[in-house]
Amino acid sequence: MTDLEPELVIRDAEVAGRRVDVAVSHGVIIGFARARSLRAAGDLVDARGGALIPGLHDHHIHLLALAAARQSLTFDDDFVTLARLEHSSAPPGAWLRVVGYHESILGEIDRAWLDDVVADRPLRVQHRTGAMWVLNSAALRAVGLASETGRLIGDDDVLRARWPEADLDLGAVGRELATYGVTGVSDLTPYADLGDMRHLGDTVRRAGLALRVMVTGGVALAGHDDLGLPRLATKIVVADHDLPSIESLVDMFRVARRHGRNVAVHCVTRIGLVIALAAWEEVGALPGDRIEHGAVIPLSLLPTIRDLGLCVVTQPSFVRDRGDAYLTDVDSGDIDDLWRCGSLLRAGVPVGGSTDAPFGDADPWQAIVTATDRTTAGGRRLGPGERIAAADALDAFLTPAHDPGGRPRQVVVGEIADLCLLGVPLGEALRNPHAGLVTATFVGGRPVFYAVQT
């Protein structure tokens, strides 16, 4: 122990298998003592033998899109009824925003289909992949675009500048994530405009968001040092609807390298991954370079990924949320290659955990569970050989923001007190992991969520 007076004492917590009191001062862990022996000058939390672990870090999320999704209608079997109800109650001229569209729910939709639902109010529907919007005629007129189908793919930057900016409640998102034990996130939105990136930073600050937020930004922002928030790699999207040539991808890599940036490359198809790996082999990989998603990774490419020293930041919860559709719609040759986890780790490829919220479930514990059982919502198994131990799945969310897949952070003296307190010992939590186990979350020693008596 140091001579500092603890500002926070977490009493009788399980840390690395021992029950101890944990002292925190100025946002840093300053010492440990025998359980129930420390007094606190400030806050005192009784862990009652529950595990104290580092706060979870979501290595791939989209904050503003998540806030918008929480304030949107959801595209489901009741969509038509709910949209018409919202239309009847919303102020005149207000936009209706809908998320979660997929063809498996109500079939293919287009401009005319949406006009039959709501004709005299702007209505926009986002595909659950985030790659496409479908607009009704009123929405197309409002943004000044012409499209026979209303289906707009890869046009987010154009659309963002043309439709009204929503008043997003990012504070509510922060409070939600804190209930999961999340203390930090990496926003992987590939902003191309400096104003959009700074808008994110301004929104984070206005909301008083307690989470630690890291950002990427697209290639156009690679040369900007001040993005308003701490930055990670440069995000590069290998878009399925408009695959780049290897030469153009190499050029994007080189732009990032000229500014000393790592690259985080969005790859969700087999061909997209092949193109990305070819670019890496041409330019060379650096420690900290990342494959985002890796939704389809052929087994034959694992040695290349390992030898390049790349990390895969993946989202196991898609197996649960979309697995039944995958088993019906995905080419049979790709099924065994979907959302790898176990084979990556066995091949020596680091794996970072993430949710891709709002396109995936924002609860990281759902990703942890699905990584262990590989069970779809319909109860079918998808890639059972990719199952990993719950401890390994949790560790994927405990790695540092700058090193997803690296060495998990530890609850030790000198570490920043970004902490997650569970209501049960760690061994018990790993036998049945779920978000309801989180009883308190601390960022820099400051409580941001409590579900325990203090």
Query: From first to last of its 454 residues, what are the pLDDT tens digits of the chain?
Result: 556 688 899 999 999 999 999 999 999 999 999 998 888 777 899 999 999 999 999 999 999 999 999 999 999 999 999 999 999 888 888 999 999 999 989 999 999 999 999 999 999 999 998 889 999 999 999 999 999 999 999 888 888 888 887 789 999 999 999 999 999 999 999 999 999 999 999 999 999 999 999 999 999 999 998 899 999 999 999 988 889 999 999 999 999 999 999 999 999 999 999 999 999 999 999 999 999 999 999 999 999 999 999 999 999 999 999 999 999 999 888 999 999 999 999 999 999 999 999 999 999 999 999 999 999 999 999 999 999 999 999 999 999 999 999 999 999 999 999 999 999 999 999 999 999 999 999 999 999 999 955 4
The side-by-side arrangement of strands in the sheet containing 263-267 is: 234-237, 263-267, 290-293, 311-314, 351-353
Task: Tell me if 439 sits within 8 A of 452, measured CB to CB.
Answer: yes
- Domain 1-55+409-454 fold: Urease, subunit C; domain 1 (2.30.40)
Place of tokens 């790695």: 399
Separation of alpha carbons 87 and 438, rounded Å: 38
CATH 3.20.20.140 domain locations along the chain = 57-63+169-408
Separation of alpha carbons 46 and 211, rounded Å: 23
**Helix ranges (DSSP H) in 33-145:** 63-70, 79-89, 103-106, 111-117, 137-143
The pTM score is: 0.93
Separation of alpha carbons 42 and 447, rounded Å: 12
Pairing of strands 56-61, 132-135: unpaired
Q: Considering only CA atoms, which of 187, 189, 249 is closest in space to residue 218?
A: 189
Class of domain 72-162: alpha beta
CATH 2.30.40.10 domain locations along the chain = 1-55+409-454
Task: Tell me if 246 sits within 8 A of 219, measured CB to CB.
Answer: no
CATH 3.10.310.70 domain locations along the chain = 72-162
The CATH-assigned architecture of domain 57-63+169-408 is Alpha-Beta Barrel (3.20)
Separation of alpha carbons 310 and 347, rounded Å: 12
